[in-house]
């Protein structure tokens, strides 16, 4: 009997993008950068981490 491996579930990074944007806005409210820059920085970090997770998942 041949055993097949269970189907792999890909990692999801969409939550990291959303959390980065929300956290960036929250930090930006209390910093001299402002909420818009905080949002963009948080969004960029979330996208970067999500892409890194996606690339790591491709290698598995």
| Termini Cα distance of the chain | 25
pLDDT in tens, 20-35: 999 999 999 999 989 9
DSSP 1-31: -PPPPPPPPPP--HHHHHHHHHHHHHHHHTS
Give the number of C-alpha atoms closer than 13 A to the C-alpha of residue 14, restricted to the C-beta side.
2
Residue 3, pLDDT score? 74
Per-residue confidence at 59, pLDDT binned at 50, 70, 90? Answer: confident
- pTM comes to 0.78
């Amino acid at each position: 009997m041949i055993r097949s491996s269970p189907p792999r579930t890909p990692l999801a990074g969409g939550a990291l993008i959303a959390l980065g944007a929300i956290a960036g806005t929250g930090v930006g409210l209390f910093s001299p950068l402002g909420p818009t820059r905080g949002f963009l920085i948080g969004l960029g970090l979330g996208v970067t981490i999500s892409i890194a997770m996606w690339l790591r998942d491709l290698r598995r």
